Amino acid sequence: MKTLRYYITLNAEETRLLLRSLIRMKNRLTKQGHYTDCVDELIAKIAN
């Protein structure tokens, strides 16, 4: 079975906003004692 992949194109401002939101989500999850592995992976993919 094929995995669906979605690609989006972001400008610099949208990328900054997305990264800032993901970091806030990671901080919130950390405070609640949840795992942040998925958010870490997304941050790494978007930052590159």
Q: Global pTM?
A: 0.81
d(CA 45, CA 40): 9
The pLDDT value given to residue 1: 80
Q: What is the pLDDT of residues 1-48, one digit of tens each?
A: 889 999 999 999 999 999 999 999 999 999 999 999 999 999 999 988
- Residue 29 CA: distances (Å) to CA of 7, 13, 14, 36, 48: 26, 24, 23, 7, 23
- Residue 15 CA: distances (Å) to CA of 19, 22, 35, 41: 6, 11, 23, 15
